[in-house]
């Protein structure tokens, strides 16, 4: 496990319903290395590329976090949720029968380039040292300031109402949940994020990532190799002792 101890960059495919820290914890357990961190949180309901660093490469986490991100996923039109995704129940159901396909495509234009975006209240952004989602869960009013983000690509790849499928390329700090909510407002019918996958971070691609199961197998094979080497070393030592007994 020496390469992991010294430092490695792992590309892992985060499973649905896992937190990003669940992945970090899994890597720590499998490698028995405590110096492990991830480069950019994915929500539990999102899947896709998570960069995990061990050893000295944890110093590069901020560098990786600042890289451009690419996502694919779906919005569901005609309702909203407090969390802007399926972590909470949809409400405010609206008729979408009057929406045209052209209107849906045209609405993306308002959200490309350098824009200001208000983060979700149900997020880990801290106010007075505490994550704002704690206040939001209590029903307390929290005012968040809009933040500058860059969305270089926002395209609708498929429409199967009430779902619309998208591809987004954006800067770090962009909340796709907020984009879903704002997109629904622009169309006048509401929307929430119903599926999300991170497909790229900088030049790192999801297609090069390992599933958790594949990573487990990789570590298991490495560990077996180490066990074999230890056994061989023990056998060699025993042979040497037979030839040259220790008195």
pTM above 0.95, yes or no: no
191 and 77 belong to one structural domain: yes
Q: Determine the Cα angle at 233 with ends 229 and 234, to 5°.
A: 120
Domain membership of residue 247 (yes or no) is no
| pLDDT tops 70 at residue 246 | no
Residue 63 zone, left/alpha/beta (φ > 0; ψ -120 to 50; rest): alpha
C-alpha to C-alpha distance for 203 and 67, rounded to whole angstroms: 9
C-alpha to C-alpha distance for 188 and 228, rounded to whole angstroms: 65
111 and 142 belong to one structural domain: yes
118 and 145 belong to one structural domain: yes
Tell me which of 13, 22, 43, 128 is the catalytic residue.
43
124 and 164 belong to one structural domain: yes
| pLDDT tops 60 at residue 229 | no
Domain membership of residue 243 (yes or no) is no
Domain membership of residue 242 (yes or no) is no
- Supply the pLDDT for residue 143: 74
61 and 73 belong to one structural domain: no
| pLDDT tops 50 at residue 71 | yes
SS3 content of the chain, % helix, strand, coil (to 5): 35, 30, 30
Q: Is 22 one of the annotated active-site residues of the chain?
A: no
178 and 73 belong to one structural domain: yes
Among residues of the chain, what percentage have pLDDT more than 70? 84
Number of folded domains in the chain?
2
Beta carbons within 8 Å of 48's beta carbon, 6+ residues apart: 13, 14, 42, 71, 196, 197, 198, 199, 206, 209
102 and 39 belong to one structural domain: no
- Supply the pLDDT for residue 30: 95
C-alpha to C-alpha distance for 195 and 19, rounded to whole angstroms: 15
75 and 166 belong to one structural domain: yes
Domain membership of residue 232 (yes or no) is no
105-142, pLDDT tens digit by residue? 999 999 999 999 998 877 666 666 666 766 667 666 77
Identify the domain containing residue 7 by its residue range: 2-65+204-224
81 and 108 belong to one structural domain: yes
Domain membership of residue 209 (yes or no) is yes
Beta carbons within 8 Å of 122's beta carbon, 6+ residues apart: 82, 83, 84, 87, 88, 132, 133, 136, 137
CATH of residue 61: 3.30.2350.10
Domain membership of residue 12 (yes or no) is yes
Lowest-confidence segment of 81-95, 122-136, 149-163, 202-216 by average pLDDT: 122-136
106 and 214 belong to one structural domain: no
183 and 96 belong to one structural domain: yes
Provide the pLDDT confidence category of residue 223 given band limits of 50, 70 and 90: confident
């Amino acid at each position: 496990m020496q390469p992991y101890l010294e430092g490695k960059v792992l590309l892992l495919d985060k499973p649905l319903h896992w937190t990003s820290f669940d992945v970090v914890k899994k890597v720590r357990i499998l490698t028995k290395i405590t110096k492990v961190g991830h480069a950019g949180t994915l929500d539990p309901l999102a899947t896709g590329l998570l960069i995990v660093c061990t050893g000295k490469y944890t110093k590069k986490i901020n560098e990786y976090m600042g890289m451009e991100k690419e996502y694919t996923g779906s919005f569901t039109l005609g309702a909203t949720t407090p969390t802007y995704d399926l972590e909470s129940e949809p409400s405010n159901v609206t008729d979408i029968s009057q929406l045209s396909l052209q209107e849906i495509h045209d609405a993306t234009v308002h959200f490309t380039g350098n824009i200001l975006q208000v983060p979700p209240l149900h997020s880990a952004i801290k106010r007075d040292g505490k994550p704002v989602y704690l206040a939001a869960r209590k029903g307390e009013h929290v005012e968040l300031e809009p933040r500058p983000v860059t969305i270089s690509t926002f395209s609708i790849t498929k429409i199967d109402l009430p779902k619309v499928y998208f591809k987004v390329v954006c800067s770090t700090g962009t909340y796709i949940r907020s984009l879903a909510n704002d997109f629904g407002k622009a169309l006048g019918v509401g929307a929430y994020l119903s599926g999300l996958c991170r497909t790229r971070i900088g030049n790192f691609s999801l297609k090069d990532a390992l599933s958790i199961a594949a990573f487990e197998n990789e570590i298991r094979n490495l560990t077996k190799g180490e066990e074999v080497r230890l056994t061989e070393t023990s056998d060699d030592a025993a042979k040497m002792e037979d030839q040259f007994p220790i008195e």
